[in-house]
Every structure is written in structure tokens, then in C-alpha cells.
Structure 1
Amino acid sequence: MNHSSFPHSSLIGIETKGEVGVITLSRPEKRNAMNEEMITVIGKVFASPPPAWKAVLIEAEGDHFSAGLDLSEHKSRSPEQVMDISSHWHRATQAIIDSRIPVVCALKGYVIGAGLELATAAHVRFADPEAVFCLPEGRRGIFVGGGASVRVGRLIGTSRLIELMLSGREVDCREANAIGLCQRVSAPGRSSEDAFEFAREVATNAPLSNRMILLALTQIAEMPPAGGLFTESLAAALTQTSPEALERINAFFNKPRTKR
């Protein structure tokens, strides 16, 4: 598939495998430290993903997902510049969250700072057992700027987020899984393979069903119960009366039954 419409960057790999788009952080010599170029490319990909993509995998080259923000870019910036960059990050990661297709992330090694902010924008996260999660900004005299205060806080709770940001401590994969920073723990070295297989499977779902799962559920989470239930009814009505849903339901009832 031709990806020429996306900005070229040696730091981000973009390819298509069947119905799955694969985005690879490709800065292993810097432990995939995130810079402005990388998040710009990622944001533009998710702003207009190829129609052939039915799911996306975000993975990383090398031993680490991302060691965080490339601080070398932030040595001498004004408050206005920092706010602009933070807003740029927010737009890029929100494009992931608002994606019409499921986004799966494969985590390994360091998942730190900006790397964790990118990972928590994905809908499903697989992690190798040795993955380490951390928000060290407080120990460095700075504050998160890529969405952690909102997304990580909603995943793990404000009190736990405060403790993690004050201490800057490392969270191992077992604890990360228990508190919701990742949903699946793979066998050693298999997070990318497992995440890709999951993405490949969900890519076969009805596109409208996937879209409603991703978008309706995130909206319902912010609504009062009555509004959430009304939105659920709308999502059910739209999906269950779609032509593809009717085809799948008919196929279910017409498939041969095994006699017991």
C-alpha cells in the first residue's frame, strides 16, 4: 500500500499487514525517546488513516517501547512554546483515542513518561513481563504534558496517580496489569506478536460495531446513567440494523449445527 500521503520520517515506520496498519517507533539508539517529529507523524496518520486499515498496532523497535520525552528539545523554551507543544501532543493522542478503528499497543522495556502517555491513548495494551512503567516528571522538576493527568488518572485513579508522580517510582508489569495500565501480559518477548494477532482478529469485526465500541463507550463513561443508557440504545439500534449485522446474524442461524 502507498503511504506517501504521510510525512516521511526515519523515526516512525508505517506499513500495512493485511487489514492491520503497523506503526513502529524506530529510534532504538535513543530508547525511542519521543520528539516532536515523531508525535507529528503519529498524529497525522491517525487524523486520516488509510481506509483499508481495520485496526492498528503501535509497537517499537529495539528493547524499549519508549524512555519518554526527548528532553534535549526542551532545554530553552518559553512557557508559550511549551503550552503549544503540549497542545500538539493532546491533539495527536486524541486522534488515536477518537480513531474509528481499534488501536492496540505492544509494550516492552521502558514505558516511561511520554511513552506511557502515548500507550494509554491506545484502546488495548499488551505488555512483556519485564516492561517497566513510570512517570518521572515530578523528580525532574517538570509536569506531564502529553495527557497523563487525564488519561492515566482515569485508568488508575487520582490518588494512585499522585503517588506515582510524586515518587517517580517504577511500576512493574504485574502491578501495571493489576491497576489497568495494561490489559494483557504476554509471554516474554511476545507482546508484539500477541498484539498483532489481537489486532488482526478484531479487524474482522463489523466496522460499525468496532466504531461504536470505541466511541460510544468512551462517551458513556462521561455521562449520567440515563444518558449513557440512551446512548447505548442508539448504538444498539444503529449496529443491529446495519446490512453487515443482518448478514452476520443470518450466517449465524444458517450455519450447520452439531448434534449432541
Structure 2
Amino acid sequence: MNQNSDIHFEMRGDIAVIRLTRPTKRNALNDALIASLRHIFENLPDNAKAAVIAGDGDHFCAGLDLSDLKERDAGQGMHHSRSWHYALERLQYGPVPVIAALHGAVVGGGLELASACHIRVADESTFYALPEGTRGIFVGGGGAVRIPRLIGVARMTDMMMTGRVYNAVDGERAGFAQYLVPNGTSFDKAFELAQRIGSNAPLTNYALMNVLPRIAEQPADQGFITESMMSAIAQAAPEAKKRVQDFLEGRAAKVQKS
């Protein structure tokens, strides 16, 4: 599927695994790698139920490859930013849920990539930063929209103005990641979650990826209507009816305290 040596794609059963493979560059992102990500998510196999994104080496992704930063006028810069938007939208609003397995640096564009995923699993080596502010530039890969939804405008402003770095523990408390696991285990946990999520009804996963984020941005009266319509559509699906019947007849597990 992919001809770029800086990214690796494989199917493990019905889970798509995408790895950034530029460890000597701390998996820094360039335009070719972003284009490859877009291509992968536009061409996932039909049997894919979920996806995991990870990085080789000591880091998930240290951000934009500054050696790839070219002299651009304002118009060219806008189109370049929009090309990243299009690619990460294919991930966020694509066909399957995406879990990010984080470790080491999750910095700049790497944090923008992680924020486009639906669930983030960090290990204890993970740290988060947005150094664009101290380098005289601004986020351009969707971070200004997605990151405040995770941690709030005030925290993002602080990070960009001061260069503040969050460690794994503080980052999980702030909302960067939903899971914090021991060093070296973020991929295993992400893959376990992907398998669990992949067993959900596809229409429910679709609603969570594509409808819930939009409801959250709607005024309450519009959100309630959208919720009602999605609820009606989901429960009318044959698979949903079977799952409810299995539960009622004792064939499905009940919720247990973890």
C-alpha cells in the first residue's frame, strides 16, 4: 500500500498497524510522510476494524522536520497547512477508530498527529511540548483546533508562550492521554484496546468518530436533535438488535467493576 520507507503499514488480523520509521530523526514529520498517512487512511482494507499508530525508536514523533520547512509566501503557507489538515481529517473522520501508542517525544506536529487520534495511550517516558511559539512560528496541522479540546485554551497558550513541557503523569492529568502505562507497553495496550474497539458494532464506532464530536460543538437544542436521530439509526441496525437480545437473554457479559 505504501512506498515511503519512513512509514510502515501492516494488517495484524483486522487491526491496521501504522508505524513511523524515522528513528534517527525522532520520527519527525515531513510532507511525504503526511501524504503517506493520508494515502493509508484513504485506502484501508475493507476488513480493517481499528488502527494503531506508533513510532519506532525512542520517540513517538518529535514534530515537524524543520529541514523540510521551506521559504513560502502567505498563500503557499496556507495551502501547505491545509494539506496537513486534509491528511489528518482522513484519520480523525476515517473508516476506523485510531489509537495512538505514545512514548518519548510527542512534540509539535507529533502532538497534532496524536490529537487527531480517537484514543491516546502514553507510557511513562512520554512528554508533550509545543515549541512553535519559541521558534517564531505557529501550529499549522490542526493543533489550534484539536489540542484545546483536549487540554483547554489556557494550557495550550501557556505551552506555546513559555515552552512548558508536560511529563507523562502531568500530561495524563491534563488530558493529553486517556491511559498511562509502564515504559515500553503503550503499543501492547493500544493494540489490546484496538481489538476491543474493533469488536463494537461498526455503526456505533462510526457515530462516536463522526457524530459525537460534532454534537459537542453544536448548541444544545441542535445537539439533542442530532443525538436523537443518531440513536434511532443505531438502534434500528440489525446488529444492534441482536446485541440487545443477547444481553436480555443472558448471552452477553454485564458491566463489572474494573
Structure 1 unaligned residues grouped into runs of 5+: none
Q: How does 1:179-194 map to 2 (within 5 A)?
A: 179-194=174-189
Structure 1 runs (4+) deviating above 4 angstroms are none
Residues 105-144 of structure 1, C-alpha deviations (whole Å, 9 max, x = no match): 0000000000000000000000011201000011111111
Match of residue 164, structure 2, among 169, 190, 194:
169
In structure 2, the residue matched to 1:99 is 94
Q: How does 1:210-225 map to 2 (within 5 A)?
A: 210-225=205-220
Matched, 1:33 2:59: no
Match of residue 113, structure 1, among 99, 108, 114:
108
In structure 2, the residue matched to 1:250 is 245
Aligned length: 253
In structure 2, the residue matched to 1:160 is 155
Q: Using structure 1 for the length normalisation, give the TM-score.
A: 0.93
Among all aligned residue pairs of Structure 1 and Structure 2, give the percentage whose two residues are the same amino acid: 42
Between 200-209 and 39-48, the greater mean CA deviation after superposition: 39-48
Question: CA 1:229 to 1:41, structure 2 compared with 1: closer, same or farther past 3 Å?
Answer: same
In structure 1, the residue matched to 2:83 is 88
Question: CA 1:35 to 1:241, structure 2 compared with 1: closer, same or farther past 3 Å?
Answer: same
Q: Take 1:160 and 1:256, find their aligned partners in 2: how far apart are those partners?
A: 46
Describe the SS at the equivalent of 2:182.
coil
Structure 2 unaligned residues grouped into runs of 5+: 254-258
Describe the SS at the equivalent of 1:221.
helix
Q: 1:78 Cα deviation (Å)?
A: 3.1
Match of residue 135, structure 1, among 130, 133, 136:
130
Residue identity matched to 1:194: K
Q: Take 2:84 and 2:156, find their aligned partners in 1: how far apart are those partners?
A: 20
Q: 1:75 Cα deviation (Å)?
A: 4.2
In structure 1, the residue matched to 2:60 is 65
Q: 1:100 Cα deviation (Å)?
A: 3.0
Matched, 1:124 2:133: no
In structure 1, the residue matched to 2:235 is 240
Between 121-130 and 68-77, the greater mean CA deviation after superposition: 68-77
Residue identity matched to 2:93: D
Q: Take 1:100 and 1:217, find their aligned partners in 2: how far apart are those partners?
A: 15
Q: Take 1:257 and 1:32, find their aligned partners in 2: how far apart are those partners?
A: 42
Q: 1:255 Cα deviation (Å)?
A: 3.4
Residue identity matched to 2:10: E
CA contact (8 A) 1:100 1:210 kept: no
In structure 2, the residue matched to 1:207 is 202
Question: CA 1:176 to 1:256, structure 2 compared with 1: closer, same or farther past 3 Å?
Answer: closer
